[in-house]
Amino acid sequence: MRKKVIVLGANFGGLTAALSVKHDLHGDVDVTVVSDRDYFLFNPSLIWLPFGKRNSSDVTFRVEPTFDKGDVDFELSAAKGIDPVSQTVTLENGKVLTYDYLVIATGTRNRGEAIEGFAENSHTITTLESAIKTGEAWKRYLDSPGDIVIGASQGASCFGAAYEFLFNTSYQLKKAGLRGKVNLTYLTSEPFLGHFGIGGMPHGEAIVGKFFKNQGITFHVNKSISTIDDGAITTTDGDVLKNSFSMIVPPFSGQSFLKELAGLADQNGFVKVKDSYQTELWDNIYAVGLAAAVTAPWKTPTPIGVPKTGFPTEQMAHVAAKNIVHQIKGELPSVTKAFADIPAVCILDAGNNGVLILAEKMFPPRKHGMLIPGPQNHLFKLAFEKYFLWKMRNGKITLP
């Protein structure tokens, strides 16, 4: 009897894992993807959407044709429960699906409730919907400009997006003739500029600092946000940053239903995994990408998270898929890749400039790590966006 693999989630991790299992077993497996949305979202491009440089159709595509082409079934519904004893997943639409192997790639939700006033008084770019609303707020801002605060709160992990939106905001202010006429401030929980949630890079603080100096951006590091009011952000140590527009990256949580199964997830809903991306208690349940719990090898004065971006998510998904293939073949899951050992590869866009971040390991100590600034990186990011969307839309998951 053919084995059944269920994948929860249809974005970076879910699409990669589902198609990889099907590909590596030459189709001799039943794979079903379950997702509460029918599209793939290229999250890195959400930094441009509020400024009108992209729209929804530019950064998404419908996943069902991709799965049809790969002979993968698709179920449009949110999952609401997992039973590892009966090996079933219960969906919001009432269906109950059975599995032999399960991959959790459900991403995150904004934990905006961790900051008083976040939902009512700030904007963010961590989801398609929130980026669209931030774009509407930006249009209103241009009609009545003033000071701006961009930041990443305590517990945040997506620092790259905060930096990119900051530098793109600076670029848009220049185009609008407002740079130097309004104050642009970066507020972050990082212990120093250029930490990025991965411990920083050699000379990284100095390189990032030059961007701030050249563009006249002020900054506050090692900060926690107490409240966000209409027109002001207050930190826990009493700083009040008045503004006419703000964008804050909040902390993330895993999906709520994952916490209902004892032993599966931590207090924030992230699934606890081994280096094989199998869960700690169930060897036939995996978690990859944003849904997986990752512990940083350091403590910072202000709590911060670890960025689980597209590249490491793909790497995790491939490891999980290979181990499922081994198990289906009656072999032991033998592929491991600790998150800390996944290479760090990221292009940080800055409007018409940028920084290429490269290291052989996500976390230090590292033998090699560098930041390469320059306008070519903006072009690299534009090219990568087009390539990656083509790759995923066409199910070319074996390509780099």
Mean pLDDT taken over the chain: 97
**Euclidean distance between the first and final Cα of the chain, in Å?**
33
Q: Greatest CA span in the chain, whole angstroms?
A: 69
Identify the pLDDT of residue 228. Answer: 97
Of the residues 346, 347, 350, 355, which is catalytic?
346
CA–CA gap between residue 354 and residue 225 (Å, rounded)? 28
Determine the Cα–Cα distance for residues 289 and 306; give it in Å rounded to an integer: 11
- Binned at pLDDT 50, 70 and 90, residue 243 comes out as very high
Asked whether the predicted pLDDT for residue 372 surpasses 90, the reply is yes
Q: Which pLDDT score is estimated for 177?
A: 97
Distance CA 22, CA 31 (A): 7
Q: What is the tens place of the pLDDT at every residue in 137-151? A: 999 999 999 999 999
* Distance, CA of 173 to CA of 184 (rounded, Å): 9
Token duo for residue 316? 């995790």
Q: Would you place residue 122 in the very low, low, confident or very high pLDDT band (cuts 50, 70, 90)?
A: confident
Is residue 243 within 8 A of residue 236, CB to CB? The reply is no
Question: Residue ranges per domain, the chain?
Answer: 4-109+252-341, 113-250+343-388
pLDDT in tens, 338-359: 999 999 999 999 999 999 999 9
Q: 113 near 119, Cβ under 8 Å?
A: yes
Q: Is 47 a catalytic residue?
A: no
382 pLDDT above the threshold of 90: yes
Same fold, 4-109+252-341 and 113-250+343-388: yes
Please determine, for residue 1, whether its predicted confidence score (pLDDT) is greater than 90: no
Structure-derived torsion over alpha carbons of residues 217, 220, 224, 228, reported in degrees to the nearest 10: -40
Contact criterion met (CB below 8 Å) for 384 and 203:
no
> Closest by alpha carbon to 318, among 331, 332, 337?
337
CA distance 138 to 18: 38
CB 321 within 8 A of CB 16: yes
CA distances from 220 to 151, 237, 254 (A): 9, 12, 28
Q: Which of 103, 148, 158, 347 is catalytic?
A: 158
Measured torsion, CA atoms of residues 369, 355, 386, 162, in degrees rounded to the nearest 10: 100
3-state secondary structure of 266: coil
Q: Where does the pLDDT of residue 65 fall: very low under 50, low under 70, confident under 90, or very high at 90 and above?
A: very high
346 is catalytic: yes
Structure tokens at 99: 């599995």
CATH of region 113-250+343-388, choose from 1.10.10.410, 3.40.50.620, 3.50.50.100, 3.50.50.60:
3.50.50.100
What was the pLDDT predicted at 17?
Answer: 98
What is the tens place of the pLDDT at every residue in 201-221?
Answer: 999 999 999 999 999 999 999
The single residue listed with the structure tokens 């074996």 is 398
Among 3.40.50.300, 3.30.2420.10, 3.20.20.70, 3.50.50.100, name the CATH number for the domain at 4-109+252-341: 3.50.50.100
- Residue 174, classified by CB atoms within 10 Å of its CB into exposed (0-12), middle (13-18) or buried (19+), is middle
What mean pLDDT is predicted for residues 50-56?
97
Local confidence band at 93 (pLDDT 50, 70, 90 cut-offs): very high
Distance between CA 242 and CA 245 in Å, rounded? 9
Asked if residues 160 and 46 have their Cβ atoms less than 8 Å apart, the reply is no
Cα gap 42→270, rounded to integer Å: 22
Does residue 19 carry a pLDDT above 90?
A: yes
